[in-house]
Amino acid sequence: MNFDFRRLLSPGVMLGALGLGSFLLLATLVWMLLSAPERPEPGNIAAALTIIPAPTGTSAPPATPTPDPNLTPTPIPGQVMIGSYIQVAGTDGQGLRIRSDPGLQGEFLFLALDSEMFIVRDGPVELDGYTWWYLTAPYDELRVGWAASNFLEYIPPPE
């Protein structure tokens, strides 16, 4: 069984293969043109636009709880309670983290330094092994938040 490959390369076979390839190419191009979706004209394209507002540099201060005046006790000298003046103490210069909520999971708002004065507005809340008090600075309404009592010290009210 000897096969003559020269017969496969004859001019008739080559022309037939070239004709078949040309027919398939032409049929593919016609099919692509007929099945392509219509394209809109460049001036009529609809676009979706989403406007995202830019973040602001400042955020709103957390809401200040309003204690019931009928339930607010008179501060007892030497004790931390609602209405008493306190100062940050015992942080060895590291400062006290003031948080948005009581507990160690509350968002860090700012750092209060040793000897900084605050007024107690709410509390106590027992959480994460600490007693938490809600403090406001008498000189800045934006410096408010929760602090652990371990670093607070009673001071007499200013006169």
The parent domain of residue 27 ranges over 7-31
pLDDT at 9: 79
Asked, for residue 46, whether it belongs to a domain, the answer is: no
**Pairing between strand 117-127 and 85-88?**
antiparallel
pTM: 0.52
Supply the CATH number for residue 138's domain. 2.30.30.40
- SS3 call for 18: helix
Asked, for residue 80, whether it belongs to a domain, the answer is: no
Distance CA 36, CA 136 (A): 69
Indicate the number of domains in the chain. Answer: 2
Per-residue pLDDT of the chain (159 residues; tens, 9 = 90+): 577 777 777 888 889 999 999 999 999 999 988 887 776 666 666 667 777 777 666 666 666 666 555 554 555 556 788 889 999 998 888 999 999 999 999 999 999 999 999 999 998 999 999 999 999 999 888 899 999 988 899 988 877
